Structure 1
Amino acid sequence: MINVQHLFRNLIRPGAFRIPKSVSVNGGIDATISGRIDGHVRGNVKTTGKLIISENASIKGHVYATDLVIYGKVFGDVYISNKAYVTTKAYVKGDVNAMILEIEEGAVVEGAIRKNIQAVQQSEEPVVALPVTESTHSSTAAIVPPPHPEEEQRSSWF
């Protein structure tokens, strides 16, 4: 189990970025250092370090990081190259891709969970997939990515 207090202690230090609770960012964040988001971000967040999304924070965009701890809300796909920790108060509306994933009971993840980190490029046009077969005939199938609306209301299966 990941020691969250240890992550907090090691993250809040000189050289790490922090988006305060009272700040909203319209646009992406691209950093090579660790960081913590307490405010709101409308855009992709990319860091090669650790990222903490606090309980009051929300991100409307994709998240890319080495390690991640989510307490708040993410409306987009998550790509973590090492370890992701989704706490009991977290809400993720999108796919979670991580090598190691820990989800607490009570967390909400509305999307697929995958053990990989490669970001899938989403385009406006359908993607054509060619099946690998030994026959001389080849066929194509159009794959259309599902719509990804940004809903801020939690839904429940119960």
Structure 2
Amino acid sequence: MWALGERKHRTADDDENFTFLGKGVDFKGVVNFDGTVRIDGRLEGEIHTTGTLIVGEHAVIKGIVSAGVLVTSGKINGTVTAAEKVQILKPGILIGDVRTPVVSMEEGSHFHGMCDMGAHKWIEDQSPVQAVRDTNVHNIVAHRGKVRTQDL
């Protein structure tokens, strides 16, 4: 009864789901989560969340990872897609292809694979100045073999 005056105002963050797969848990299959997920066990298959995926130091994931934010200090072998960012912490190992706009790697972590950070957008969104420069490029192969004559 006295707690009514001291009740905290709840925010949307307080309502966020938190899922934990602890050490010793082995899971095979496809899992979908809402909110934040922490994995300290082993997962083989696919894991999807629009929230944050935290991979603990002793965790091992093999397969497809899709998250809003990925923070890993464990081992991941597979394809990773993160809408916001991928953060690899020491002693984390990530082997596979990564697609995300932001990557950060702590010293002592390891990454082996390809990383797509959306550079194709930079190429497609050329400035008008660059487009004009590109129209002034000449095809040298078409001119090969032609000799320019000069008046003597």
Q: What TM-score do you get using the length of structure 2 for normalisation? A: 0.65
**Match of residue 149 from structure 2:** none
**Match of residue 92 from structure 2:** 90
Alpha-carbon distance between aligned partners in 1 of 2:16 and 2:114, rounded to the nearest angstrom: 35
Query: Structure 1 residue 29 and structure 2 residue 31: aligned?
Result: yes
Q: CA RMSD in A?
A: 1.7
Which of residues 69, 77, 80 is equivalent to 1:78?
80
**Match of residue 44 from structure 2:** 42
**Match of residue 144 from structure 1:** none
8 A contact 2:80–2:98 mirrored in 1:
yes
Alpha-carbon distance between aligned partners in 2 of 1:109 and 1:62, rounded to the nearest angstrom: 16
Q: What TM-score do you get using the length of structure 1 for normalisation? A: 0.63
Alpha-carbon distance between aligned partners in 2 of 1:106 and 1:27, rounded to the nearest angstrom: 31
Deviations 1:63-118 (A, max 9, x none): 100011010000101100001110121111101211111011221111011104xx
8 A contact 2:16–2:36 mirrored in 1:
no
| Aligned length, in residue pairs | 105
Percent of counterpart pairs with the same letter? Answer: 32
| Counterpart code for 1:59 | I
Q: Which runs of 4+ in 1 moved over 4 A?
A: none
Secondary structure at 1:60's aligned position in 2? strand
Written as runs of structure 1 = structure 2, the 5 A alignment for 1:114-125 is 114-116=116-118
Written as runs of structure 1 = structure 2, the 5 A alignment for 1:1-158 is 15-116=17-118
Alpha-carbon distance between aligned partners in 2 of 1:66 and 1:14, rounded to the nearest angstrom: 14
| Counterpart code for 1:44 | E
Greater C-alpha radius of gyration = 2
Alpha-carbon distance between aligned partners in 1 of 2:54 and 2:87, rounded to the nearest angstrom: 10
Alpha-carbon distance between aligned partners in 1 of 2:109 and 2:98, rounded to the nearest angstrom: 13
TM-aligned CA deviation for residue 15 of structure 1: 2.4
Q: Which has the higher helix share?
A: 2
| Counterpart code for 1:101 | V
Gaps of 5+ in 2: 1-12, 119-152
| Counterpart code for 2:116 | R
TM-aligned CA deviation for residue 14 of structure 1: 6.9
